[in-house]
Structures are given as structure tokens and as C-alpha cells.
Structure 1
Amino acid sequence: MKTIFSLFVGLLIATAAVAQDTIRIDLAASHSMVAGARVGDGYLVITNSGSEPDRLIAASSDRAKTVQLHQKSMDNSIMTMRELKGGLTIPAGQTVTLAPNHHLMFQDVEKPFKQGERIRVVLSFEKAGEITAYFAVGKIAGPLDDIGGASGMDHGGMDHGGRGHGAMNMPGKEGMDMSGPPPEEAIPETLKTMFERPDKPLTILPVVVEKDWAIAGWQQDGRGGRALLKKGHHGWNVFLCSGDGIRQAAALEKAGLSIGDAKALAADLAEAESKLDPKVLALFASFEGTVMMAGEAGDAGQAGHEAHGQ
């Protein structure tokens, strides 16, 4: 009987080991967070080399109170992010990239992630069990390739259930969609990553774009305003925050736009906002003055946003 029991236990251990070896985690990465932020993001690539589908059902980290799997969707030009109940299926023999429509959301982060850090995360799969991955922290905002392919960044290793597994296999960019989402999706995602909190959801509407410049209206916790953004090498950055101060072409010219771009952006903004509820426009106008961003856009952006969002 003892021999049969030992064989049974051994078979269970072997089966679990095989299941874990079928799941591979690549390009686990996160954006760094501005001072005072409590919500972080996480992206990764999951490959299931097994003959049966598996499911990512949970995640946890000692750097956050909770870690949720979120799904992004667009509803009437408004981007929403909601927890994906029931987990995410990883089909047999396929690779699933958690970007741009899915990502991990680190809630109630006490110590904001800093560029160069590695965040330990335990991923729980229905069949493979617990797999520990280390998320490399990149810049405050920008496309996914700026995180996963950051120069000199150590993506570290991956630990399968405490068993040493060696270096992480890093596939080339052909394994991921590096084209990035359109500005109408990238800009809300950037602003939500920087400013949204679990208790203070952020609504971004409208978003108007003219070449490398854009204006986004925002609403949060009964307040609002407009953000002028400029596209750089690492994606869209907040250039300044204002209320009605950036509605006119003349103000946009002073901010650095060419005469043609300023007129076009102001006209597009007026047309987009003509369809909004007057109460929303009143929220935009409630932002007093103009806050210029200096240095890393996210640092000043947080200060300016929080000053009108308390």
C-alpha cells in the first residue's frame, strides 16, 4: 500500500511539473509610476506549448494589495477598463499577448514602481499552477516596445513554482504587435495609467489629434479640464493642463504649435465638444489657469492634476 501511495504522489508531482513546463512567460514589463500614484500596470506574453488549453485565473504581488486582470474596451469613443472575471484562456499551442486589450492592474501600490526595478508577481494558472515572473519597470509612459526592449534593462529570470528555470526566453519583436494603438486609444490609456485610481475613475473624452499634438478632455471625481499632449519618441506626453485656456488657436500657437496646426486643432476641438453635454464643458472650464509640465511629463503632470483633483 505504501508503494502504491508513493507512486501515486510521484505521478501527481510529475504531472504538475509537465503542466508548468507548458507555460512560458516572456516580456513581462510595467510602466514606472509618478509620485503618489497608487495604480500600476503590467504586460506580458504567455505561451502555452501544451496540448490542452490553460487559463490565467489570478495574480498577486507583494508590491500591491491586489492584482487584477483587466480588459480594455471602447464604448462610444470612451475607453473603459474592467476586471475580467473568470480569467483569460491560453489556447493550446498558442501565444497570447496581454496588450493592448488586456493587462494586469496593480491596485493600492504603497511604493510606486521606479524605472529599472523588477516587480515580483505570482501568476496562477488553472493547470500549470503558480508561476513567478519578474516584471521589468520601464518609463512612465510609452508604447510596449519601449518597456520590453529598453536598453540595458535586465528582464531577469522566471521561477516555476520555486524550481530554478534559468534565463527568460526573450522572443524578437515579431512575436508582438509593436505598431501600437491609434492616438484615440493610446492617449486615454496613457492618462489612465498616470492618473486613474481605484476610487477615482478617469473619463477621457473627447480626444482630438493634429499631427504630433493632441487635446484630451478629462473628468475625475467631479472635476475636469483639458490636457495638451505632444507625441515624442516614447509616446504621448502631457505638455500642459488647462481649462478654457487652450480652446483658442492663439493659445495653442503660444504653446508651440504652428499657425496651421493650431487652427486645425482648435477647430477639431470645437467640433468635438459641440456634441458634449454643457455640464461636461463646465467641468472642463473649472480647471483654473494653465499648468506647464517640466522635465519628465508624468512628474509635473501628476502634481498639476492632483492640484485640481482633490
Structure 2
Amino acid sequence: MMKTLFSLFLGLLIATAAAAQDTIRIDHAASHSMVPGAKVGDGYLVITNSGGEPDRLVAASSDRAKTVQLHQMTMANGIMTMRELKGGLAIPAGQTITLAPNYHLMFQDVAKPFRQGETIRAVLRFEKAGEITVDFAVGKIAGPLDDVGGDAGAMDHGAMNMPGMEGMDMSGPSPEEAIPETLKTMFERPDKPLTILPVVVRNVWAIAGWQQDGRGGRAMLKKGHHGWSVFLCSGDGIREAAALEKAGLSPDDARALAADLADAEAKLDPKVLATFASFEGTVMMAGEAGDAGQGGHEGHGQ
């Protein structure tokens, strides 16, 4: 009799867990490819809870990373910061949550950088639905991922219902927000936070100053169909209009961007400018879909 009751109880538990898992659907899981030598990858996805009870994404893991964390991105005074979201992410009943751009998974201590075209398998653990295996399609190195939502630029951010998102303008990030996000996705590491300031923009071109672990430099970016991508990294080599013209800018854009950069950097501490100047030479980066960052910026600053 006890054996029969135990079997019935076990069967009920299995059936309940299966029913809960059926209510959670994962779509458009995607990740950026990584610069060679980088240790941190990202992950974006869309989670739909079709059940009648709320659930919560509480943990994630992958064989490709030592740990996988849920991170939140916030902007304050023009500087983007990322932090781990403790306590997991609520998935309300009957709603769809899109993890982009302010929330995303971070694959930490990646031994083999993600390459465009491959898939990264991860296991997501939900409070009620249990473990769900997800394959992330690896796209280009920076900018929106077409795999997420079919067109990341067209995702309905207004439909998000996430803690801390109330009152935020989700009409789309400005260049001053999107450019730091692009650079942090490519270069930031948990033990080496990246500071991006200033950011100056002229039409489809931009220059951003960066500081990391006592080093620094300037990155020139270009906006394409899939958002901002890094065109080159340098130090003082891209401060002057003549150098910007040689890089491909029109004379008018080169003069305007150089003037805007000079105005923005005039407000910075001379010590910060010295870190920008410490980047030696110029590192050309590939286009949006290419093998960007073969040299990267780490190791060039003195």
C-alpha cells in the first residue's frame, strides 16, 4: 500500500513539474560573438509564461562558462553600469519578458570565445518550471542581434514588465547609451570594469574615450544597419580632423567631430587625457559581421 501511494505521489510530482515547464517558452535566444581573448559573453532571449501563475528565472549555467549570471544595465550621468540582479527575474503569468537591452545573461570566465555561427547551450532554472535547456545562436560581435525577436531593433520594449523598469523610456537607446553598451559588451570583464567618457557623435561616426585597469584610449565607431560597431581603436592618433579624413570621414564630418571631441575633452582631468594618449598606434577593427578585434585593445596601453 505504501509503495503504491509513493508511486502515485511521485507520478503527481512529475506531472506537475512537466505541466509547469510547458507554460514557459523560450524564443530568440542569441549571443554576440566575442573578441579573441575576451572572457565574458552575453545572452539575450524572450521568455513567455503562458500559465496562470507567476514564475521566476533564478539561475543559469553552461558548459562554456564557469558561471552564468543575470545582469541589469543602468545609465547614470552618461555612464553605463552593469550589476548582477540578485533574487532572479520575475516572469508574470500570461506575459512575455524580453531580456534586451537592459537585462541580459552574462557568461563569465569563458575559456573559448563565442564565434559567429555557432550555438551556445545553457540551462535555465526556473522557480516552478525547473530546468530548461536553451541554445543561443551566436551573431555578430556588436550591435543588435537579428536572432533576437527576428529584429532586435523592432522589439516591443514597451511590453516589458521587469523590476526597476517602471518609468524608463524604452523607445530605443541614444548613441550616448548604445555606444557604451557596444564597447562594454566587447571589452568589459568582471574584474576590469570599463569607463566610457566622453562620447561625441557626428552623423554615422562617433569617438568614445575609454579607461580600464589604468589604461585608456579612444575608439572610433560607425553606425550601420545593425547599430554601432567599432571601426578602429587608437590614442591621440584620431584627435585631429586630418586623421579622421584619412579614416574615411568627409571633410565636414571630420572637422566637426574633431571640434566636438576637443570641446568634450577640455572638461576632463588631464590625468584622464594622459590615459587616452597611452594607447600606442592604431588597431583596425573588422566590420559588423567580421572577425572584429584580432588585436583588441588590451595590451596596447602602457
Alignment TM-score, normalising by the size of structure 1: 0.86
Q: Mean Cα displacement is larger for which, 197-206 or 1-10?
A: 1-10
The structure-2 alpha-carbon separation of the partners of 1:246 and 1:297, relative to structure 1 and needing over 3 Å to count, comes to farther
Contact 2:33–2:116 (Cα < 8 Å) also in 1: yes
% identical aligned pairs: 84
1:84 aligns with 2:76: no
How many angstroms does 1:149 deviate by?
4.1
Question: What SS does structure 2 have at the residue aligned with 1:100?
Answer: coil
Whether 2:266 is the aligned partner of 1:264: answer no
Paired residue secondary structure (1:307): coil
Structure 1: how far apart are the matches of 2:74 and 2:294?
A: 25
Match of 1:308 in 2: 300
Q: How far apart in 2 are the matches of 1:174 and 1:108?
A: 29
Name the CA shift for 1:263/1:236 in 2 (closer, same or farther; >3 Å): same
Deviations 1:52-84 (A, max 9, x none): 111101000001000010000012111111111
Residue 181 (structure 1) shift: 2.5
2-structure distance, mates of 1:140, 1:147 = 14
Taking the TM superposition and a 5 Å limit, the aligned residue runs for 1:39-188 are 39-145=40-146, 149=150, 180-188=172-180
State how far apart, in whole Å, the 2-side matches of 1:147 and 1:24 are.
14
Answer yes or no: is the 8 Å Cα contact 2:141–2:292 preserved in 1.
no
CA spacing shift, 1:94–1:29, aligned 2, 3 Å: same
What is the CA distance between 1:187 and its match in structure 2?
1.4
The CA RMSD measured in Å over matched residues stands at 2.2
Per-residue deviation, 1:299: 4.2
Partner of 1:230: 222
Counterpart secondary structure, 2:20: helix
* 1:29-73 deviations in Å (ceiling 9; x for gaps): 111112111111100000011111111010000010000100000
Gaps of 5+ in 1: 151-172
Distance 1:95 1:202, change over 3 A: same
Q: After the TM superposition, which residues 197-216 of structure 1 pair with which residues of structure 2 at under 5 Å, given as runs?
A: 197-216=189-208
Whether the 8 Å contact between 1:138 and 1:147 is mirrored in structure 2 is no
Paired residues of 1:203 and 1:220 also in contact (CA < 8 A)? yes
CA contact (8 A) 2:36 2:293 kept: no
Instruction: Render the CA deviation track for 1:200-233: whole Å, top value 9, x for unaligned.
Output: 2211111111111000000011000101111223
Structure 1 residue 302: deviation in Å?
4.7
Paired residues, what number? 288
The two structures have a TM-score, normalised by structure 2, of: 0.88
Structure 2 Cα separation of the partners of residues 182 and 195 of structure 1:
20
- Report the 3-state secondary structure (helix = DSSP H, G, I; strand = E; otherwise coil) of the residue aligned with 2:196: strand
- Distance between the aligned counterparts of 2:28 and 2:240, measured in 1? 43
Q: 1:295 to 1:96 in 2, by over 3 A?
A: closer
1:293/1:118 CA distance change after superposition, 3 Å: closer
The answer to whether the 8 A contact 2:28-2:149 is kept is: yes
**CA separation of 1:294 and 1:50: change in aligned 2, threshold 3 A:** closer
The equivalent residue for 2:167 is none
Whole-Å separation in 1 of the counterparts to 2:234 and 2:281: 6
Contact 1:33–1:112 (CA under 8 A) maintained in structure 2: yes
Alignment check: 8 A CA contact 1:65 1:108 kept: yes
Q: 1:75 to 1:268 in 2, by over 3 A?
A: same
The 1:14–1:292 alpha-carbon spacing in structure 2 relative to 1, beyond 3 Å, is: closer
**Which residue of 240, 251, 258 maps to 1:248?**
240
Asked whether the 8 Å contact 1:33–1:113 carries over to 2, the reply is yes
1:171-191 Cα deviation digits (max 9, x unpaired) = xx6666897532222211211
